[in-house]
Amino acid sequence: MGEMGSASKLPEHTMLSASERLELPKSVKIKIALCQLSVRSEKNQNLVRARNMIKIAAESGARIVVLPEMWNCPYSKDFFAKFAEDFDNEDSSPTISLLSEAASCHGITIIGGSLPEWSNGRLYNTSCVFGPDGKLSAKHRKIHLFDVDIPGDITFKESDIFTGGDKPTIVDTDAGCVGVGICHDIRFPELAMLYAAKGAHIICYPGAFNISTGELLWELMQRSRAADNQLFVATCSPSRDSCGGYAIWGHSTLVGPSGEIIATTGHEENVIVAEIDYSKIKLQRKSIPLDKQKRGDIYQFVDECEEEKHQNSE
């Protein structure tokens, strides 16, 4: 086996350190809401239910509201294209209009779960982030598509339906710096490492794990991403009684920077509201300074996007 190049030769600008880049927001304590929605086969019903849940969350003091993966349509290949919207066409995007209006009306940040998006003839699984002014702050297209074949249990290939995204998404809000992933994105620790290194306080993963993978991995993945990167992780799932033939695990959860579960729910429709204290990130990183304990002489994590920008600027 050939030898790998020396890590010490990597340019400093590609070497990532989460602790060094972390800046806390002005309000270190905020409330977040996870809206575990029961998805119906009629889009208008889903929009009404979402509007009501967002209202409940905002009236409970939530500054960030998270919706589930595929909440405006059942998680089924029979519905994705039918319910998809062109986000650039306001007249044909009632879901986008709803999220914008709700964020502006309540003065909150909405992590809009995920929706089927039509763009240039392709279908994407996309999450939109709206700020308190109602404007679109960021858009994340699911990077890692879920292809699974468990004999006697479940066979499903997202890659037969969707095109994968090609960019990570991190957005500064007045309620904290948020990294966004969708469902299967949580299985890949590199994405979470990248968000932590770029200063994220919390990673939000709208997701719809099925019952088999949910029971085995849902809680494990959330706690692992939070503990490894010493930040908050929030997940939001549709409820199990949602329409479609895809059996959903549910159990939307908020996890703290030491991997502790702060709040969770079962598989029924529910709105969870919980408090986040961002100062716990610095406390955890001071107590167990993982960044300082990493062996940069043996391995390093490189931000390829930043490296490419640097090379293009030279």
Residue 309 lies inside a defined structural domain of this protein: no
**Would the pLDDT of 258 be above 50?**
yes
- Average pLDDT value for residue range 51-70: 98
Residue 21 lies inside a defined structural domain of this protein: no
Residue 16 lies inside a defined structural domain of this protein: no
What amino acid positions are annotated as catalytic residues? 69, 142, 183
What is the per-residue pLDDT for 313? Answer: 72
3-class DSSP state of 174: coil
Domain count, the chain: 1
**In the chain, what percentage of residues exceed pLDDT 90?**
79
3-class DSSP state of 248: strand
CB 35 within 8 Å of CB 236: yes
- CATH number of the domain that 148 lies in? 3.60.110.10
Strand partners, 157: 147
The pTM of the full predicted model, rounded to 2 decimals, is: 0.92
Residue 212 lies inside a defined structural domain of this protein: yes
What is the per-residue pLDDT for 17? Answer: 63
Residue 13 lies inside a defined structural domain of this protein: no
Residue 9 lies inside a defined structural domain of this protein: no
What is the per-residue pLDDT for 246? Answer: 87
CB 244 within 8 Å of CB 77: no
**Would the pLDDT of 125 be above 50?**
yes
Higher-confidence position of 194 and 301:
194
Domain that holds residue 77: 29-291
* Least confident stretch, 11-25, 217-231, 274-288: 11-25
